[in-house]
Amino acid sequence: MLTVQTPAKINPVLEVLNRRPDGYHELALVFQAIGLYDQLSFERKSSGVELNIEGPSDLAVDDSNLIVKAARLFIHEVLNDSTGVKITLRKTIPMAAGLGGGSSDAAATLKGLRWLFETELSDEKMNAMASGLGSDVNFFLTGGAALGTGRGEIITPWKSSGSLPVLLIKPSEGLSTPAVYRSGKASLTSGEKAKNFKTLLAQGDAASISSHLFNGLEPAAFYLRPEVELIKKRLIQEGALGALLSGSGPTVFGIFADMAKASAASQKFEGEGFEIVVTQTIPTGVEKL
């Protein structure tokens, strides 16, 4: 058996550039992995893909699940359907939260199967398979910090910000990513904010990083779910150096000067039906346990 852990992400910068002919939006965004993980275990079997989920979860275990899709793709493309795998998921990353949990699990499946079956598979082939699974999957093959362009699938790894304390607040009601884009409320920008963020991340100063947070989808998310804007304002009031919607939401993250302040702020949100996580940024991605 092989077990891996795979992280969630936040997006300190997300710029929407324009709408592409294929219907997707051109993006320029910064990915940053955080220390909130799902675990996946892999065991060889004679044929087929079996997925089991430990703990409470509404996730399907059929071909609609990205883990199953990734496993079937790997077995078909790399192993010529000659074998199978049993996968057990221990789900911790909140679902439909803007934290990339599904994409992270898909990337972990590709990397886990490459390790399990000891295949000599190029990074180029891994990235091609990841791109076909979803826009964020490619980032989780590397983790740490990176610039994403195109749909988000073109990844340029960057030096990570180290260990910045982060408080995540996720409302109970989700936000539909297509609805956020369809609202017409997104702010369109040039992509320079994302590209210029590289220097800030490398310097690792929490105050400077926090003062340059930006998400072009925030106006749309705030329009659809005013509660999200209130959470952002409350995080600032409770001492966050900066706060931002992650991805298309609905999770909002705040960056704090230290873990004690992040923990103290988290207590102010207890008892209100939120999912609350105190964690930090990390320089890694999918790892064996």
Q: Per residue in 136-159, pLDDT tens?
A: 999 999 999 999 999 899 999 998
Residues 25 and 144 in one domain: yes
- Is the confidence at residue 264, as pLDDT, over 70? yes
- As a whole number, mean pLDDT of residues 101-105 equals 96
Catalytic residues, by residue number, are 9, 136
- Looking at the structure of the chain, the number of domains it has is 2
Name the residue type at position 282: I
- Is the separation of the CB atoms in 219 and 189 below 8 Å? no
| Nearest residue to 141 via CA among 88, 103, 198 | 103
Peptide bond into 250 cis (omega under 30): yes
Q: Give me the CATH number covering residue 229.
A: 3.30.70.890
Q: What is the pLDDT of residues 239-259, one digit of tens each?
A: 999 999 999 999 999 999 999
What domain range is 214 assigned to? 165-280
Cβ proximity of 156 and 195 under 8 Å: no
Domain boundary among 141, 158, 175: 158
Q: Is residue 69 part of a domain?
A: yes
On whether both 212 and 246 belong to a single domain, the answer is yes
Residue 287 belongs to a domain: no
**Residue 237 neighbours by CB under 8 Å, 6+ apart:** none
Is the model's pLDDT at 20 over the cut of 80? no
Final residue in a domain of this structure, among 111, 132, 158: 158
Say if CB 48 and CB 72 are below 8 A apart.
no
- Residues 213 and 111 both lie in one domain: no
* 86/124 same-domain check: yes
**Residue 163: left if φ>0, alpha if ψ -120 to 50, beta else—which one?**
beta
